[in-house]
Amino acid sequence: MKQDELFHETLNDALLDTIKAAGGFKAVGHDLWPEKSVREAEQRLRDCLNPDRRDRLTPDQVLWLIRRGREAGYHAAARFICLEAGYAAPQPVEPEDQKAALQREYIEATKTLARLAQRIESMESKK
């Protein structure tokens, strides 16, 4: 796992390091564009991050790269965006924590539905 750099000058720099941490241009490029050959996908990804080229990543592709970095334990691109936009540095959430949070939300939503059902029944019985 690549250690996060403390500072990047540009989002492209952070994305370049994210790609390296996530397996390199060949692997990441081919995952982004599986319909292309490995070589074509690698070159397209390099072109998209080259400021002298016209090709650019879409916002959804940037988000995908940030998620891919997260999977690799590398958070520089997410941190760069947050800090540049004036937000606190992000804190990654572990998948188990996410699952537990979703389970808590589900339980609370179920309780809310049960309370609403009781209120409806109460109103019906008063008629």
* Residue 94: per-residue pLDDT: 72
Q: How far is CA 111 from CA 72, 77, 93, in A?
A: 37, 39, 26
pLDDT mean values, one per 10 residues, the chain (127 residues): 71 96 96 97 97 95 96 93 92 74 86 89 82
* Residue 1: per-residue pLDDT: 52
User: What's the rounded Cα separation, in Å, for the pair 120 and 122?
Assistant: 5
What does the pLDDT look like over 81-113, one tens digit per residue?
Answer: 999 999 998 888 776 667 777 888 889 999 999
* Residue 6: per-residue pLDDT: 64
User: What's the rounded Cα separation, in Å, for the pair 109 and 115?
Assistant: 10
This prediction has a pTM of 0.69
* Residue 99: per-residue pLDDT: 75
